[in-house]
Amino acid sequence: MQEICIPTTAGPMAGLRNHGKGPRVLALHGWLDNAASFLPMAPWLRDFDLVAIDQLGHGRSAHLPAGAEYNFATAINGVLDVADALDWERFSLLGHSMGAGIASLIAAACPERIEALVAIEALGALTEAPDRTVVRLREAIQAHRGRVARPLRVFPDIETAVRARAYASRVPGSGLEEALVRLLVERGVRQVSDGFSWSSDPRLTLPTLSRMTEPQVDDLLAGIDCPALVVLADPAQPYLPDPVRRRRVSLLRRGTLEVLPGGHHLHMQQPEAVGKRVAAFLEAHTGRG
């Protein structure tokens, strides 16, 4: 895949693109990941025009200006800006984790533009109980207003950054192999005078001021018109228990569920198994060009 840079209203967004032929597929990575997360499964999507972007604040893409907040509205508009810049009127969405949440909201919001949806390890948005609205708002404002700028950690070399990322993201039974971590790290750091630092915007770790309620997410999912493939790992993630995620999938009008044993990054850990399923689904539900 080749490096690309796409101008948007929020600033340049970087990404990776294959040969540019076939049905159009826009890939959206997870939180604090980047476009490189789709490299392992890209060989199984060679019959598609695959564009994987670094979402705003991630990888090699622009950061939002001071005072702006990273939220779903900003992310949705960033993705649509990319599609407009590519001159894609209709296309499919492939998302992992946070990217799957954003993709599912776009599919609900823009049914006339989305041919098919593939959501890996997420569907819809993280929710909040209505009676925690004030608590969340207060905590988020305190975090945003009280944030003290501090220098990003500097690593002497890429190897040290790889070890740090592997340690920070370790999950029993589902940790990424070093080679896969390296893909994310090499695209997720920038060179500074005395080594390497993370390129992602530190504000991405701040809490959002508000979240949707579960009924709101239910309404959005029920409004997705396009065919949708949801690929989930077993065991489920704590923030989206199995009963909740299965109920969400059941709300899709044209949804298909695949559950595979593996970790949260199963599209990187099992690229062939996931890639073949995704390719078959997209082949069945997308047009040419």
- Boundaries of every domain in the chain: 2-129+212-285
CA 153 to chain centre: 24
Name residue, tokens 């989305």. 114
| C-alpha count within 13 angstroms, C-beta hemisphere, residue 147 | 17
Mean pLDDT, the chain, integer: 93
Residue 134 has pLDDT above 80, yes or no: yes
Q: Region 175-192: what's the mean pLDDT?
A: 92
Give the start-end residues of each E strand in 68-159: 91-96, 114-120, 154-155
Name residue, tokens 């530190």. 202
Q: Region 258-266: what's the mean pLDDT?
A: 95
Name residue, tokens 């979240």. 211
- Cα–Cα distance for residue pair 37/32, rounded to 1 Å: 11
Q: pLDDT tier at 217 (50, 70, 90 boundaries)?
A: very high
Q: For this structure, is 97 an active site residue? A: yes
Given 37, 92, 97, 104, which residue is catalytic? 97
Q: Write the pLDDT tens digit of every residue in 136-145.
A: 999 999 888 8
For the chain, what is the largest distance between any 2 Cα atoms, rounded to a whole number of angstroms?
A: 53
pTM: 0.95
- Comparing 92-101, 167-176, 190-199, which segment has the lowest mean pLDDT? 167-176
CATH number listed for the domain at residues 2-129+212-285: 3.40.50.1820
In the structure encoding, which two tokens stand for residue 64, read together? 């939002």
**DSSP-derived 3-state class of residue 49:** strand
Confirm if 16 and 35 have CB atoms less than 8 A apart: yes
- Cα–Cα distance for residue pair 39/35, rounded to 1 Å: 8
Neighbours of 127 (CB within 10 A): 17
